[in-house]
Structure 1
Amino acid sequence: MTDWFLGLQTWQQALVAGMFTWFITLLGAALVFFAKTIKQKILNFIYGFAAGVMVAASFWSLLAPGIDWAEINGGLPAWLVVAIGFMFGGIFLYITDKTIPHIHFGKDQEREGISTKLKKTILLVFSITIHNIPEGLAIGVAFGAINRGDTSTAIAAATLAALSLAIGIGIQNFPEGAAVSIPLRQEGMSRKKAFFMGQASALVEPMMAVLGALLVTSMKSILPYALSFAAGAMIYVVVEELIPEAQGSQESKNSHHAVFGFMIGFTIMMILDVALG
């Protein structure tokens, strides 16, 4: 952690972290210039890996701190606070999923959201963009929690926890960038356009990170709700999107790729959270 970063305002730190995760997505999307196809078992691993990171982050980076903050603030029981926030996070993503037009990745490519005449490739990008909304929000909320600490030790711990979350999401964004751009290339899109679409899918992360940080810093009482809200949104994406994509289109002989991808992703995020947070 450098002095210039620590000297930034909370929303600026969240913006930098969100830009970092977007940049890692850009690097992953750039793989389209070196490969035209991607094997299904690799895609299965990528989706499983992303799911593992998000599940681990949902507990150690969001729900556990949310419970701690709810206990400190008093009022409603901590378990009720995080339960409310968690459920509203899932409901929010459900409404988003049913409202924003998109096409799921995978062999079925099911359409969801309001009816539209947008091109198929745009709808595919919208799909991964929806996925990135809770990731950006989680980063912003985590950084918003930094200045809520009562001691320098608590602030330092919150800073490390926020940084570990950003690093973990950044790690899983690298293969995700490739998982967007390369399939678009396989659909017949040019390499440059597939790269542009792949990196653009993560531009929502810095925007949501700033929004999450501003909300938390302006209203202290919503912090535990915001943390659990982000967790609920992430779990919704994992169950509704990532796990089906990792498992639904693969043959039984390849099922272990998604499983080990999940376990590796979960382990990496768990180590980051426990070691740094």
Structure 2
Amino acid sequence: MGTIYLGFVASLIAGLGTSVGALPILFAQKLDRNWQGLLLGIGGGIMLAATTFSLIIPGQQSAIALGYSDQSAALIISLGIILGAALLWLIHNNFPHEHFNQGPEGKITENFQRIWLFVLAITLHNFPEGLAVGVGFGNGEGLPLALGIGLQNMPEGLVVALALRELNYSVAYAFGISSLTGLVEPIGGIAGASIVSVGQIVLPWAMAAAAGAMLFVIVDEIIPEIDRESITQEGTLGIMTGFVTMMFLDMAYG
């Protein structure tokens, strides 16, 4: 129960990063496209480093500690990554959602309001982050991972709020929806911590699956958003900045 509680609290705090990031919407209504690319890139870089230093490498080490050979451990992590990405791919293709710049995707009904497409898109994005934090606490990697995800959520919260303002929603509504999307992460945190609490034998699989889900989000959601005219270089700079920041946090405090 201690692991589940810590996973819940840490993922809740990380999820509240979206609220902190959305605060500037109270004072500014627009954000330059170049800044959007930079902020999205920072978020993607943090997630990319988190998958490597907080999930994949510790997952391999935990498999070896359970008695698996290096080759078997590598196979477990590889299959786990594929499993996590496949699960998110299935959800991605069967639940309606909308990218900020690519438009609607998935099975969409005529009466489905656009705002809920955005909410579902961020839900798909945030759940694996909470899952990763919850799983991380099962291996002692939760603190730097929660901190990194919280930092990643700040620019994401701002971009979400600004995108909603561009759809002519009120400031209060944009801030509220942006904040609520972060509350999905504690659900993922409880799920991840619960899986790990079943037994240490599940830990390598859970960490690899969380990494696969996050990698899917990076490739399918974040990179396409920043790979647009005039913000590609800013996005690349952001990814490098975010990656180094998360790498430092994990090496220094992991």
Q: What's the offset of the Cα at 1:240? A: 0.9
Alignment correspondent of 2:195:
215
Alignment partner for residue 74 of structure 2, among 70, 74, 79? 79
AA matched with 2:52: F
2:249 paired with 1:272? yes
Q: Note the C-alpha offset of 1:75.
A: 4.5
- Give distance in 2, aligned partners of 1:31 and 1:219: 43
1:31 paired to 2:24 = yes
TM-score normalized by the length of structure 2: 0.95
- 2:221 equivalent to 1:244: no
Matched letter for residue 29 of structure 1: A
Please give the per-residue CA displacement for 1:127-175, whole angstroms capped at 9, x wherever unaligned.
1221111100000001122xxxxxxxxxxxx2xx310000011011111
What residue ranges of structure 2 are gaps of 5+ in the alignment?
Answer: none
Select 2:8's aligned residue among 15, 38, 51: 15
Counterpart of 1:154 in structure 2 is: none
SS at match of 1:52: helix
In the aligned structure 1, how far is the partner of 2:81 from the partner of 2:75?
10
Written as runs of structure 1 = structure 2, the 5 A alignment for 1:99-118 is 99-106=94-101, 108-109=102-103, 111-116=104-109, 117-118=111-112
Tell me the alpha carbon deviations over residues 189-231 of structure 1, each in whole angstroms, 9 at most, x when there is no partner.
0111111111111111011101110111113211100001000
Q: Distance in 2 between matches of 1:274 and 1:22?
A: 23
The residue that corresponds to 1:192 in the other structure is 172
Letter aligned with residue 228 of structure 1: A
Which residue, 202, 220, 225 being the options, matches 2:182? Answer: 202
Aligned to 2:91: 96
1:54 aligns with 2:55: no
For residues 183 and 138 of structure 2, the distance between their equivalents in structure 1, rounded to whole angstroms, comes to 20
Q: Please, which of 125, 131, 138 is the counterpart of residue 131 of structure 1?
A: 125
Q: Distance in 1 between matches of 2:188 and 2:206?
A: 13
Given that 2:16 and 2:183 are in contact with CA atoms closer than 8 Å, whether structure 1 keeps it comes out as no
CA contact (8 A) 1:37 1:183 kept: no
The SS at the match of 1:103 is: strand
Which consecutive unaligned segments of at least 5 residues does structure 1 have? 1-7, 146-157
**Aligned residues, how many?**
251
User: Are the counterparts in 1 of residues 25 and 158 from structure 2 also a CA contact under 8 Å?
Assistant: yes
Deviations 1:27-79 (A, max 9, x none): 11222111111111111111111110111000100000110111111257101
CA distance in structure 2 between the aligned counterparts of 1:94 and 1:64, rounded to whole angstroms: 23
SS at match of 1:176: helix
Displacement, 1:181? 0.7
- Normalised by the size of structure 1, how large is the TM-score? 0.87
Q: What do you get for the CA RMSD once the two structures are aligned?
A: 1.3
Specify the SS of the correspondent of 1:74.
coil
1:178 to 149, 153, 158: 158
Which runs of structure 1 show a deviation greater than 6 angstroms over 4 or more consecutive aligned residues? Answer: none
2:105 is aligned with what amino acid? E
